[in-house]
Chain A
Amino acid sequence: MTHEHARLRVKTWSFAVVVVFSNVFGNFFLKRGMPPSLATPLAYITVLFHPWVALGVLLMIVWMLSRMALLSWADLSYVLPVTAVGYVFVAIVGKVLLNEQITMQRWAGIGLIVAGVALVSGGTAPQTRAGPSQ
């Protein structure tokens, strides 16, 4: 049983890393590729063929599939706080690559998010209720 717990924990962490980074860079490329405005409904479709937006969409598909796999064994109430560490990387990517400002207040928020993620990922098992395949 402890071996089973260890296996599930390693698998959960590996997928959480993919989920977080595909989301962070997916968001980054979407923002980078978006024009200043989308005037018509058609513009929402044609913008998907802009290279940066297309790369962002591709990463969002990776994010969705890896998150679905993760949710096939891990609780939603575990996945939510743990993948929230992505907010920290989004803020850092926004600052470093898009020159957005990070105020003291935002740094404090980032600290709280990291504490919450550490509490849930370090303190609770990923799965509290086995699915039908177990």
Chain B
Amino acid sequence: MRFLLIGIIVASTTAGEVLQAAGMRRHGEIRDFRPGAIRRAIAVLARNRFVIAAVAAMAVSFFAYLGLLTIADLSFAVPATAITYVLETVLAKYVLKEHVSWLRWAGAALVICGVALVSL
């Protein structure tokens, strides 16, 4: 049961976060943090297709995560979902076209090994 939930969480989190990054990058850098400007930015983002799809995927991820928390320790639940790092870094390079330097690959690899040690 816990591994089924982790599978759902990993798939929906990866999809949601890559869509979120794609949508936000299309929107452009947020520079104005006064309340009125934030309200306007949220109104614009609420019509951004990437952001809408991201929120839907993250809602699935959130409820599956609530289910996982009822049957697993926090220090198991959080690290076990970290396989998303591998998937998302690969997607960042090939889908979002980011320049993933060797330092970033090395950093991501260290994080993934660390997360595996923490969760096993």
Main secondary structure of the interface of B (DSSP, over half): helix
User: Is the beta-carbon distance between B98 and A34 smaller than 8 angstroms?
Assistant: no
Chain B residues at the A interface, C-beta cutoff of 8 Å:
17-18, 20-21, 24-30, 45, 51, 58, 62-63, 66-67, 69-71, 73-75, 77-79, 82, 85, 88-89, 91-93, 96-101, 103-104, 106-111, 113-120
The answer to whether A5 has its CB under 8 Å from any CB of chain B is no
B-side contacts of A113, CB under 8 Å: 110-111, 114-115, 118
> In the complex, A37→B98 CA distance in Å?
42
Select which of A64, A100, A131 is within 8 A of B29 by beta carbon.
Answer: A131
Can you list 10 residue pairs at the A/B interface with Cβ under 8 Å?
A: A31-B77, A68-B51, A81-B104, A90-B75, A90-B78, A100-B73, A109-B115, A113-B115, A116-B107, A124-B107
Of chain A, the residue at the smallest CB distance from B117 is A109
B-side contacts of A77, CB under 8 Å: 88-89, 92-93, 96, 98, 100, 104, 108
Select which of B24, B100, B119 is within 8 A of A72 by beta carbon.
Answer: B24
A-B residue pairs, 8 tightest by C-beta? A133-B28, A109-B117, A116-B110, A112-B114, A120-B107, A109-B118, A113-B114, A116-B111
Among residues 97 to 134 in chain A, which have CB atoms less than 8 Å away from a CB atom of chain B?
98, 100, 102, 105-106, 108-117, 119-120, 123-124, 128-129, 131-134
Given contacts A77-B100, A81-B107, A133-B28, contact A111 B62 (CB under 8 A): no
Of chain B, the residue at the smallest CB distance from A33 is B69
A-side contacts of B104, CB under 8 Å: 77-78, 81, 120, 124
Given contacts A34-B69, A64-B58, A119-B103, contact A105 B120 (CB under 8 A): yes
